[in-house]
Structure 1
Amino acid sequence: MPQSHDRVHPRRRHQTTSEWSTIRRPSSQATTFLPPGTPVFVGERKQDEATLHLIHFDRERLHEVEEASLADCRDCLPFPGLTWVNVSGVHDVSLIEALGGLFGLHPMTMEDIADTSQRPKWEEFPDYGFMALKMLAISEADAEVQIEHVSLILGPDWVLTFLEDDGDVFASVRSRIRRGISRVRSLGADYLASCLIDAVIDHYLLAVEWISDQIEIFDTHVLNHPEQVRIQEIHHFRRDLLALRRAVWPMREVLGAVSKSEASVVSDETGVFWRNLYDHTVQVIDMVETSRDTLMSLQDTYLSSLSNRMNGVMKTLTVISTIFIPLTFIAGVYGMNFQHMPELGWRLGYYGVLVLMLVIAVALVVWIRRRGWL
């Protein structure tokens, strides 16, 4: 086994969207008319160069290389223990093909790794299992949910993970491996894979809870100040929930298939952990559906508040118009300049008309109030 040592370098901080190089997103048409199993990157390139993070460990020893090479990965395979290789940057198709040759991956697996639009799924091969899933993260700056494609390959004594960027979504698992006090150092590769997926589902919970908190704040704002709310904000939340639903719903089917799998890479000993992940996914789905129902009710409340406010404005304007219509009629009649109008010669005619207008206005106000319209 290679010589053990501590971490070479600390993980780089997760880059924000503004720090990524602007590269046009290839469409799914990039794979059109190509033979099946041809790996072609489909997605948005989120970092300049792909990097490898290697961890090889057993119960007593740990070997970790932050900026690993293919040679480092090859050297660890003959030694006993578990090997975990994390690839940051699936845009490097040549690196994916090289790892595929080293670990004996099927060409269709390499194609699915490079396609970030792939739907979550679980596929079993003779020597390994392949899982595609979606990683969720909250962007506080943009106030939205960001989705990242994640691929996980479970072998007999090795695990490969592929991320779109170098965001350290598996930091908690690495910390447990380094401390050496968790069962992850003593159980097999399938338990390590379940821990990695558990970290992904934890991010699902954080994303759903964040959206639920935002909807609750938004709900209070709608009830108190509906005129300051824009319909675009409601559609923004609906878009985030739809993205969550698309990412989480297939995971129930995926984890159900893994928990019932008879593949050699999934042992009966870890079945309870996979079933626990299935339960957590169902919980997330319930939270997503609850948030969707709340948002739909919130949209109805918002539209009703706007309608009620508009009705109040129209009611006020109608009352004012009703009062001034007869006054305008009287003023219009006596505004005519006919020569033989008898009232034009009255000494107190001007004051009499003002008193008449005032009496009519007061009478209308009293009548409207008695009718309950004001």
Structure 2
Amino acid sequence: MPPRIPMPGQRPKRVEPPRRPTIPVPLERQIDFCRVFVDGKRQPGNVRMAHALEVVERYENAFVWLSLKEPTNEQMEKIAEIFDVEDLVVDDVVDAHQRPKIERNDEQLFMVVRSVSYRDDEEVADAREIISTGEVQMIVGERFAITIRHNAHLPDLTAKLEEEEDLAVLGPTAVAWAVSDYLVDNYLKVTDFLEDDVDELENEVFTPRHTINIDKIYSYKREVLEMRHAIDPLAPALRNGLTNNKDLLRKALRSYFRDVQDNATIVSDRLSGFDERLTSLLDASVAKVTMQQNADMRTISAVVGMAAVPTLIAGIYGMNFEEMPELKWSFGYPLALVVMLAAMALMFWWFRKNHWL
């Protein structure tokens, strides 16, 4: 059948390509682990997520820790049915573009902390890959803690909870502390690497006769700005969360969270300092390049000035006038060369004395 020709003024219908059927991914593939803690100690092995809460109900002081990686909307809806998570939280989890925050939904806390990873500029082709950010979300209930990571590396922190037995017995909020403490400690490590890089940039800028790479300075400034956007909201979020949710956070845990808040504030202050230093380096680099260009132009002007005197003398004696007595003098040519060289030598001495050459 020949294709239908649209009438004048009629827009042709857009033919969409057939959609490929999507294969549902089993929820088990997105689960890192599902473990039960009883009296602050991890029980051996993993438990099935669907029966995790049933296992926890057998004990007086127990909770389940479920760790996920980038669940889909359908997968998160299944989890929400089991753990009674609100739909708004499900949307935020799947969207995965949240600022650091702590929100309360009845007796549950929804917490978002951004992750930051660092790679040396010699290991990446694009300077925009030096700092990369991800997102870790936590849903904390009375008997469970769910951690969801998006583009973030999160090691198994169950050993850390076992080492802090006094905290693990306080319930699922200890999981939120362990994850937050790990991520913020990693911030401190990244700022140490950035400090070394900024110090190296300062040495390059203020080393005499060293080529200045302004693009590199700007790239680091952009990376620091990206890290600030990921980190700066965390300290106020922790402060407000600790103040408004004291009934869900034990006193011992609040002190540990305040330590995390203090470290987040330290990181924010250090990043602010890096940003100011990089801004100063940009200004100093532009000023240094401008001064170098002025020095180059002064050198070029001096060379042109030295060449102007011989050119002037040669131009005068190049005029074809008959009444020029010096043209018939046998020593006229050598004397003109001597005058040219003497003038150039005198100008060279004067320019060197005034640091033009």
The answer for the alignment partner of 1:360 in structure 2 is 343
Tell me the alpha carbon deviations over residues 165-197 of structure 1, each in whole angstroms, 9 at most, x when there is no partner: 472x243x22224x5564343332222311211
The answer for the alignment partner of 1:145 in structure 2 is 131
The answer for the alignment partner of 1:131 in structure 2 is 111
Alignment of 1:1-374 (within 5 A): 50-59=30-39, 61-63=41-43, 65=45, 69-71=48-50, 73-80=52-59, 81-90=62-71, 92-140=72-120, 141-142=123-124, 144-165=130-151, 167=153, 169-171=154-156, 173-177=157-161, 180=163, 182-224=165-207, 228-262=211-245, 264-369=247-352, 373-374=356-357
Structure 1: tracts of 5 or more residues without a match = 1-47
Q: CA 1:61/1:208 → structure 2, altered by over 3 Å: closer, same or farther?
A: closer
Q: CA 1:263/1:109 → structure 2, altered by over 3 Å: closer, same or farther?
A: farther
Asked if the contact 1:194/1:273 (under 8 Å) is kept, the reply is yes
Compute the displacement of 1:70 (Å): 3.1
Deviates more, 1:195-204 or 1:77-86: 77-86
Compute the displacement of 1:129 (Å): 0.6
Asked if the contact 1:259/1:271 (under 8 Å) is kept, the reply is yes
Structure 2: tracts of 5 or more residues without a match = 1-27
Compute the displacement of 1:119 (Å): 1.7
- Between the aligned partners of 1:334 and 1:182, the Cα distance in structure 2 is 101
The total of aligned residue pairs comes to: 322
Compute the displacement of 1:288 (Å): 0.7
- Between the aligned partners of 2:152 and 2:115, the Cα distance in structure 1 is 13
SS of corresponding position for 1:187: coil
Tell me the alpha carbon deviations over residues 230-282 of structure 1, each in whole angstroms, 9 at most, x when there is no partner: 32212211111111111111101110012212354222232211211111111
Query: What is the identity, as a one-letter code, of the residue corresponding to 1:267?
Result: R
- Between the aligned partners of 1:182 and 1:229, the Cα distance in structure 2 is 53
Q: CA 1:347/1:64 → structure 2, altered by over 3 Å: closer, same or farther?
A: farther
**Bigger CA radius of gyration:** 2
Compute the displacement of 1:104 (Å): 0.7
The answer for the alignment partner of 2:21 in structure 1 is none
The answer for the alignment partner of 1:33 in structure 2 is none
Normalised TM-score (structure 1): 0.78
Query: What is the identity, as a one-letter code, of the residue corresponding to 2:142?
Result: P
Q: CA 1:337/1:194 → structure 2, altered by over 3 Å: closer, same or farther?
A: same
Query: What is the identity, as a one-letter code, of the residue corresponding to 2:38?
Result: D
The answer for the alignment partner of 1:31 in structure 2 is none
- Between the aligned partners of 1:300 and 1:60, the Cα distance in structure 2 is 55
- Between the aligned partners of 2:348 and 2:160, the Cα distance in structure 1 is 76
Asked if the contact 2:99/2:112 (under 8 Å) is kept, the reply is yes
| RMSD over aligned Cα atoms | 2.5
Normalised TM-score (structure 2): 0.82
Query: What is the identity, as a one-letter code, of the residue corresponding to 2:32?
Result: L
- Between the aligned partners of 2:250 and 2:167, the Cα distance in structure 1 is 14
SS of corresponding position for 1:343: helix
